[in-house]
A and B are shown apart, each in its own frame.
With several copies, the nearest count.
Chain A
Amino acid sequence: MKIDVGDYKGNTVVSLGGEVDMHTSPVLREKLLVLIREKPRRLIVDFREVSYIDSSGIATFVEGLKHMKTYNGRLQFSEIPQGIMEIFSFSKLDKVFEICGTLDEAVSR
């Protein structure tokens, strides 16, 4: 798993890559919680290079979202590969997370 934190047009973007599973998601969780502690208005997670995610990865994002909701922060996902999108849809989480096609779509919302 790869996690790069960067900036896109003034917004924090987490570029995620590789395999997010029970082994790697604790690292993701820690990074996310550190970022969320700053109470960003918007956090974008770019899924472009994610090849795999399981329920532990999804649980990590559900937890992150719960924290952000307490201060009305927005958690946005961009560039979700099709196979992963199907998992979100099946889990009914496509309605819970803000799903955006591209980074630009995310920042313009």
Chain B
Amino acid sequence: MNDAVTLKVRSHPQYLALIRDVTVRFCSMHGVPDAVTGDLRLAVDEACSNVIKHAYRGDTSRRIVVKYAMMERVLRIIIEDAGERVRPERMQGRDLDDIRPGGLGLHFIRRVFDTVAYDPKRKKGNRLLLSKQLGSRNED
């Protein structure tokens, strides 16, 4: 990815706040409206939380890599881990009418991103590809 920001952190929940800060600043640098930025901040946080919980099964000593790029008003965010391969058939949030703890993260991710897909070319671990088409820049 050209013109990208890359952030590497440990798979510990304390780094989620740092990832959120980078997400927010990257968006504001590129004139993303605040409401959308808020949704993106949540979605990226949820995707990284899922890496810690599911791909790494709570192991906080591993690595998460988050990459950001903006090209022609398409925001691309890539989240890489070296954990257990995702089984796509398990990737499903709960029915929103079935009230119980958990199962909301994927809903938050899919709500804001246009595409949410795992890179099939990735051999080890997972590479989650997220993208969103934005409107024209609201500043400058």
In the complex they form, whether A and B have CB atoms below 8 Å apart is answered with yes
Q: Using Cβ atoms and an 8 Å threshold, which residues of chain B touch A87?
A: 42, 108
Mostly, the B contact residues are helix
Which parts of B1-48 form the interface with A (CB within 8 Å)?
Answer: 12-14, 16-17, 20, 35, 38, 41-42, 45-46
Which parts of A27-77 form the interface with B (CB within 8 Å)?
Answer: 52, 54-56, 58-60, 62-63, 66
User: Is B38 in contact with A55, judged by CB distance below 8 angstroms?
Assistant: no
Cα distance A62–B108 in the bound complex, in angstroms: 17
Q: Report how many residues on chain B are interfacial, defined by Cβ distance under 8 Å.
A: 26
User: Is A83 in contact with B104, judged by CB distance below 8 angstroms?
Assistant: no
Q: Which of A56, A60, A83, A91 contacts B49 (CB 8 A)?
A: A56
> In the complex, which residue of chain B has the Cβ closest to the Cβ of A23?
B13
Cα distance A21–B102 in the bound complex, in angstroms: 13
User: Is B101 in contact with A23, judged by CB distance below 8 angstroms?
Assistant: no
User: Is B101 in contact with A54, judged by CB distance below 8 angstroms?
Assistant: no
User: Is A58 in contact with B104, judged by CB distance below 8 angstroms?
Assistant: yes
Taking A54-B49, A56-B49, A91-B96 as contacts, is the C-beta distance between A23 and B102 under 8 angstroms?
no
Q: Which of B38, B52, B107 contacts A22 (CB 8 A)?
A: B52
User: Is B96 in contact with A92, judged by CB distance below 8 angstroms?
Assistant: yes
Give 13 A-B contacts (CB < 8 Å), ordered by A residue.
A21-B13, A21-B17, A22-B45, A23-B16, A54-B16, A54-B105, A54-B108, A55-B46, A55-B49, A59-B101, A59-B104, A62-B100, A90-B111
